[in-house]
Structure 1
Amino acid sequence: MKAAVFTTRFRERLSFEGIFLLILLATIILRFYFLDLKLFHHDEAIHAWFSYRLLTEGIYSYDPMYHGPFLYYATAGFFSLLGDSDLVGRFFPALLGTLLVTLVYPIYKLGYLDRKQTLIAALFLAVSPNMVYFSRFLRNDIFIAFFTMLLLVALLYYFERRQMRYALIAGAAIGLGMSAKENMPIIILIFGVYLFYLVWTGKVQLPTHWIRDLVLGVLVAFGITVAFYSSFGAHPEIALTWWIQAIEHWISMHQMQRLGGPPYFYILLFILYEVPILILAAVGVLQFVDIRGILSRWRERRISHAGTWGIGDDAENREEAPPAVEPLPVEQTPGFRDRLREILSGTGKIRPVDRQKEFARFAIFWMLLSLAAYAYIGEKVPWLILHQLLPMIFVAVYAMTTRKAVIAVAASVFLIAMTFHVAFTPADINEPIVQVQNSEELRGVFAEIDAADRVAIATENYWPLPWYYRGDNASKLSYYSQKVSEATIYGGDFDMVITHDGNTYPTLDGYVKETSRLNYWFSYDENKERLFEYYFLRDGNMGSRNIEVFTRVPAGTTA
Structure 2
Amino acid sequence: MHRAAGEAGTGRQSAATDDAGKRALFALIGITLLSLVVRLWGLSDRIFHWDEGRVGYWILRYHETGQFQYRPIIHGPFIQHVDALLFHVVPATDFWARFPVAVVAAGVPLTAWLLRRHLDEIELVALGLLLTLDPLLLYYSRFMRSDALVGAFAFAAFALLVRAYDTRRPWLGYAAVVSLAFAFGSKENALVYVLCLGGAAVLLYDHHLVQAASREVSVLERVRTDLARTWGWVEEASGRVHPALWLGGGLAGALLVFMTITVLLYAPRPEIWSALDGPGTFVNVVEAGTLGAAERFADGWLDAGHRDHPYFAFVHDMLETLVYGSPVLLLFALLGFAVDGYGGDARGLVTFTAYWGAVSVIGYPVATDIQAPWAAFHVVLPLAVPAAVGAATLVRFGERGVQKDDRAVVAVAALLLTAGAGGVVAANADYWNSAAEEDRQVVQWAQPGNDLQPTLAVVEAVARENTGTDVLLYGDQFHVANESSLDQPPPGGPSWHGRLPLPWYFERAGAELTSVPSSADPGDATTDAPPVVIAKAKHRGALEPQLDGYAAAEHPFKLWGERIVVFVDRGAMNEAGVSL
TM-score interval, normalised by the smaller of the two chains: 0.7 to 0.9
From 433, 437, 440, the equivalent of 1:431 is 440
Partner of 2:423: 414
Tell me the alpha carbon deviations over residues 470-499 of structure 1, each in whole angstroms, 9 at most, x when there is no partner. Answer: 25x324433457664446534544233211
From 141, 146, 149, the equivalent of 2:155 is 149
Paired letter, 1:20? L
Which sits farther off after the overlay, 251-260 or 273-282? 251-260
Paired letter, 2:531? D
Paired letter, 1:376? V
Query: Matches of 1:49 and 1:447 in 2, distance apart?
Result: 16
Partner of 2:102: 94
Tell me the alpha carbon deviations over residues 128-163 of structure 1, each in whole angstroms, 9 at most, x when there is no partner. Answer: 111111111111011111111221122123223333
Tell me the alpha carbon deviations over residues 55-92 of structure 1, each in whole angstroms, 9 at most, x when there is no partner. Answer: 22112211111111111001212222333211111111
Partner of 2:561: 544
Tell me the alpha carbon deviations over residues 81-106 of structure 1, each in whole angstroms, 9 at most, x when there is no partner. Answer: 33321111111111111111111112
- What is the CA-CA distance between 1:430 and the residue it aligns to? 3.6
From 133, 152, 169, the equivalent of 1:163 is 169
SS in 2 for 1:398: helix
TM-aligned CA distance change 1:129 to 1:493, over 3 Å = same
Which sits farther off after the overlay, 544-553 or 58-67? 544-553
Query: Matches of 1:372 and 1:379 in 2, distance apart?
Result: 15
Q: Extract unaligned runs of 5+ from structure 2.
A: 1-18, 209-221, 235-242, 273-283, 399-412, 479-497, 573-580
Is the 2:522–2:542 Cα contact (8 Å) retained in structure 1? no
Count of paired positions: 459
Q: Report matched runs for 1:211-230 at 5 Å.
A: 211-230=248-267
Q: Under a length normalisation based on structure 2, what TM-score does the superposition of the two structures give? A: 0.71
- What is the CA-CA distance between 1:552 and the residue it aligns to? 5.1
Paired letter, 1:87? F
* 1:241 pairs with 2:292: yes
SS in 1 for 2:315: coil
TM-aligned CA distance change 1:441 to 1:423, over 3 Å = same
Q: Report matched runs for 1:93-112 at 5 Å.
A: 93-108=101-116, 111-112=117-118
- What is the CA-CA distance between 1:125 and the residue it aligns to? 0.9
Is the 2:67–2:268 Cα contact (8 Å) retained in structure 1? no
- What is the CA-CA distance between 1:269 and the residue it aligns to? 1.2
Q: Report matched runs for 1:235-274 at 5 Å.
A: 236=285, 238-239=288-289, 240-250=291-301, 251-252=303-304, 254-257=306-309, 261-274=313-326
TM-aligned CA distance change 1:363 to 1:45, over 3 Å = same
SS in 2 for 1:223: helix
Query: Matches of 1:553 and 1:484 in 2, distance apart?
Result: 24
Paired letter, 1:364? A
Is the 2:523–2:546 Cα contact (8 Å) retained in structure 1? no
- What is the CA-CA distance between 1:455 and the residue it aligns to? 2.2
Partner of 1:45: 53
Query: Matches of 1:74 and 1:258 in 2, distance apart?
Result: 36
Tell me the alpha carbon deviations over residues 373-398 of structure 1, each in whole angstroms, 9 at most, x when there is no partner. Answer: 02434532111111100111112233
Query: Matches of 1:287 and 1:499 in 2, distance apart?
Result: 57
* 1:202 pairs with 2:226: yes
Query: Matches of 2:334 and 2:48 in 1, distance apart?
Result: 35
Tell me the alpha carbon deviations over residues 247-270 of structure 1, each in whole angstroms, 9 at most, x when there is no partner. Answer: 332245643449993422221112
TM-aligned CA distance change 1:426 to 1:66, over 3 Å = closer
Query: Matches of 2:438 and 2:81 in 1, distance apart?
Result: 31
- What is the CA-CA distance between 1:213 and the residue it aligns to? 1.4
Partner of 1:320: none
From 441, 449, 452, the equivalent of 1:442 is 452
Is the 1:39–1:439 Cα contact (8 Å) retained in structure 2? yes
Query: Matches of 1:367 and 1:150 in 2, distance apart?
Result: 16
Tell me the alpha carbon deviations over residues 522-553 of structure 1, each in whole angstroms, 9 at most, x when there is no partner. Answer: xxxxxxxxxxxxxxxxxxxxx23211334457
Paired letter, 1:202? D
Is the 1:441–1:516 Cα contact (8 Å) retained in structure 2? no
TM-aligned CA distance change 1:397 to 1:484, over 3 Å = same
SS in 1 for 2:230: coil
Q: Under a length normalisation based on structure 1, what TM-score does the superposition of the two structures give? A: 0.74
From 330, 341, 361, the equivalent of 1:371 is 361
Query: Matches of 1:279 and 1:225 in 2, distance apart?
Result: 38
From 477, 481, 499, the equivalent of 2:535 is 499
TM-aligned CA distance change 1:86 to 1:244, over 3 Å = same
Is the 1:259–1:380 Cα contact (8 Å) retained in structure 2? no
Query: Matches of 1:59 and 1:545 in 2, distance apart?
Result: 34
CA-based RMSD:
3.3
From 117, 123, 132, the equivalent of 2:123 is 117
Which sits farther off after the overlay, 511-520 or 77-86? 511-520
Is the 2:200–2:353 Cα contact (8 Å) retained in structure 1? no
TM-aligned CA distance change 1:447 to 1:390, over 3 Å = closer
